[in-house]
Amino acid sequence: MTSQQLYEQYTAQMRKIADVKYAQAVLQWDQETYLPSGGAAARGQQMATLSEIAHQLFADEKLGVLLQELSGADELTEKQQRNVALTLEDYQKNKRYTPVFVRELAEVTSRCYHTWIEARKQNDFRVFESSLGELIRLKKEEARVLEFEQHPYDALLNEFEKGATVAWLDTLFDELQQPLKQLLSAIMKCPQPDDRFLKQHFDKDSQWRFGLEMLKQIGFDFEAGRQDLSPHPFTTSFNTGDVRVTTRIDEHDFTSMTWSCLHEGGHALYEQGLPSDQYGLPLGEYCSLGIHESQSRFWENCIGRDQAFIEYNIPLITRFFPQLKEVGAKPLFGAVNKVQPSLVRTEADELTYHFHVMIRYSLEKKLIEGSLDVKDIPSFWNEAYKNLLGVDVPDDRKGCLQDIHWSHGSFGYFPTYSLGSLYAAQFFTAVQKQTPGLAQQIARGDYSAVHLWLKTNVYQYGRTYTSNELCNKITGEPLQLKYFLQYLTDKYKAVYHF
């Protein structure tokens, strides 16, 4: 049998596995959007069954033999060789998990999600405590299964950001924290933009329609996706032709839904832009969560909070929301970029946002290494918010229950939000240098050059490169803090005139 025939067998098996995984993803999407509460227990069982089936298919000894044969085949193209190498790496890691563990993790995760929902309703962390403790026990076990050299949290970080370690992130966050504090101190001495007009009543239906317009404007393809409501905004993809985003609406906060749509829209554009002919294969998957978050932060902040973007959209904004008709673009630009230490990560400004991430990172490290008990999460959280952001946490809903990630078992995810902002700023600097007249294009609502740049430099590569390799290829440098700090300084000088 030729190498190409063997590769076709490999492709068929990988696509079968992808079919099962995406069927599970459909059930999870439904769980977080439309599932009636009475279906929660059965849904957990269904998702666990599919998770177990996918694991068994990917742990098949025949697949391992096939991958070993292909890994030494010179007749394969460069892309085919990369797919095989990455899949073999994934296969060997997957073999470390037992079917029993995979099923238990899926069942506990589904149960954890529903107790998180209930805990938020009751505004009481204790409702969530037991199931979260069970999940953390499994995540500690997973870290042991995956193996690590220095810190158990490294194993979980690597699942979201390949190569990331506690040692690297500790240094990165230490180097980032002081300049952010200095910039915050300078800003707090300046007169603050008036943002009271953002807290008027904004009709839910009007916000929904406006959000759809925002998604259309930045290029989201509604023939290949849709938007729905959920307690916590998220994006999920079943293939490049079916990418789902969700948002949430606060009728007394104009920014909440608007920039949520832009954020999730950035994720969705990435998923819709991946190579469709690589379905089920590594080169058809996103590079990392850090790069994925770079896409959401790129559209939400670098584009969406830019003055040119707001000026272009003032006519659309005032058509949907007449109460903002007398505000004007400049005050709106100042208001949506106002810096103010706050309680909720998803609604934080671009500067203090990273303090929210640092708190979660520190907390997760302690949970996984065992130096913090689950019952002590609220007190740790509240003290950290007081120390780092100077705010008092009034309750669990606005405190340690605000994020969905732990109920998904996504320990190690939070650092990718800051990494995403750093990559986004470095990418935005590169696209500006490489695209003459970009600011003028954005000012007239033309994002064609941006789309082409992202497709050429990010989307097409899938998992070909690690995050830092991709960054180096795109910008000529590995990840650098200076681009993000310069981006923030320039933006806030325009807002605060310091």
Question: So what's the pLDDT on residue 339?
Answer: 97
Question: What is the percent of the chain with per-residue pLDDT over 90, rounded to a whole number?
Answer: 97
Q: Are residues 91 and 239 in the same domain?
A: no
Assess if residue 152 is contained within a domain.
no
Lowest mean pLDDT among 40-49, 206-215, 450-459: 40-49
Same domain? For 66 and 93 the reply is yes
Spacing of C-alpha 210 from chain mean position: 23
pLDDT digits (tens, 9 = 90+) for 125-177: 999 999 999 999 999 999 999 999 999 999 999 999 999 999 999 999 999 99
| Average pLDDT in the chain | 96
Claim to verify: residue 369 and residue 481 sit in the same structural domain: yes
- Asked whether residue 13 falls in the same domain as residue 139, the answer is yes
Tokens of 176: 């980032």
Same domain, 228 and 275: yes
As a whole number, mean pLDDT of residues 276-305 equals 98
Same domain, 190 and 124: no
pLDDT over 90 (residue 212): yes
Which residues touch 214 (CB under 8 Å, ≥6 apart)? 258, 261, 262, 265
Would you say the pTM of this structure is higher than 0.85? Answer: yes
**Cα(361)–Cα(357) distance, integer angstroms:** 6
Assess if residue 483 is contained within a domain.
yes
For residues 439 and 303, the answer to whether their CB atoms sit within 8 Å is no
Q: What are the C-alpha distances in Å from 227 to residues 272, 278, 294, 319, 372?
A: 14, 25, 21, 21, 38
Token readout for 46 is 């269904």
Q: 361 and 432: one domain?
A: yes
The answer on pLDDT for 405 being more than 90 is: yes
pLDDT at 347: 87
Which CATH number do you get for residue 413?
Answer: 1.10.1370.30
Answer whether residue 24 shows pLDDT above 90. Answer: yes
Domain count, the chain: 2
Q: pLDDT by residue (tens digit) across 229-274?
A: 998 899 999 999 999 999 999 999 999 999 999 999 999 999 999 9
Residue 352 lies in a domain: yes
**Are residues 396 and 380 in contact, defined by beta-carbon separation less than 8 angstroms?**
no
CATH number (domain holding residue 142): 1.20.58
Report pLDDT for 74. 86
For the stretch 458-472, pLDDT in tens is: 999 999 999 999 999
User: Both 197 and 137 in a single domain?
Assistant: no
**pLDDT above 90 (res 80):** yes
Contact between 345 and 353 under an 8 Å Cβ cutoff? The reply is yes
- Other C-beta atoms within 10 Å of 44: how many? 21
Q: Please give the share of the chain, as a percent, with pLDDT higher than 70.
A: 100
Shared-domain flag, residues 124 and 233 = no
323 shares its domain with 398: yes
Measured from the Cβ of residue 380, the count of other Cβ atoms closer than 10 Å reads 17
Per-residue confidence band for 72, with pLDDT thresholds at 50, 70 and 90? confident
List pLDDT tens digits, range 426-477: 999 999 999 999 989 999 999 999 999 999 999 999 999 999 999 999 999 9
The answer to whether residue 154 is domain-embedded is: no
Residue 156 maps to a domain: no
pLDDT category at 1 given cuts 50, 70, 90 is: confident
Give Cα 372 distance to the centre of its chain. 25
Q: Is 153 inside a domain boundary? A: no
Q: In this predicted structure, what is the pLDDT of residue 141?
A: 97
User: Does residue 155 lie within any of the structural domains?
Assistant: no
Catalytic residue list: 264
Asked if the structure places residue 51 within a domain, the reply is: yes
Are 300 and 425 contacting, i.e. CB atoms less than 8 angstroms apart? no
The pairs formed by 414-417 with CB atoms below 8 angstroms and a separation of 24 or more are 414/357, 414/360, 414/361, 414/364, 415/157, 415/160, 415/161, 415/164, 415/169, 415/357, 415/361, 416/160, 416/161, 416/288, 416/289, 416/290, 416/292, 416/293, 417/293, 417/297, 417/345, 417/353, 417/357
Phi-psi category of residue 75: left, alpha or beta, with phi > 0 → left and psi -120 to 50 → alpha: alpha
The secondary structure of residue 464, as a DSSP letter, is S
Same domain, 73 and 197: no
Considering the domain architecture, whether residues 213 and 102 belong to the same structural domain is answered as: no
3-state secondary structure 258-307: HHHHHHHHHHHHHHHHCCHHHCCCHHHCCCCHHHHHHHHHHHHHHHCCCH
Domain residues for the domain of 177 are 166-496
